[in-house]
Amino acid sequence: MFKKCPNCNKLSCVTKDNKFRPFCSEKCKLIDFGAWATEKFQIPGKNNESDYDENF
């Protein structure tokens, strides 16, 4: 079974044989991880500044 890679849109095998699924390669998987780590992608939600204490 093949689907488009979420990062580069190349066809990617989504079976258990592809250890990077749903990505086509380790590179695409790491690019996606980096985007989350740098907060390029965010899950929308209520932003309540009082919930965070950076002076802890």
Q: For residues 8 and 31, give the distance between their C-alpha atoms in angstroms, rounded to a whole number.
A: 10
End-to-end CA distance of the chain: 49
Nearest to 4, CA basis, from 28, 27, 33: 28
Per DSSP, helices labelled H in 1-56 are 26-37
- Structure tokens belonging to residue 20: 């990077």
Which of the two residues, 1 and 43, has the higher pLDDT score? 1
| pLDDT tens track for 10-43 | 999 999 999 999 999 999 999 999 998 888 887 8
Predicted pLDDT of residue 39: 86
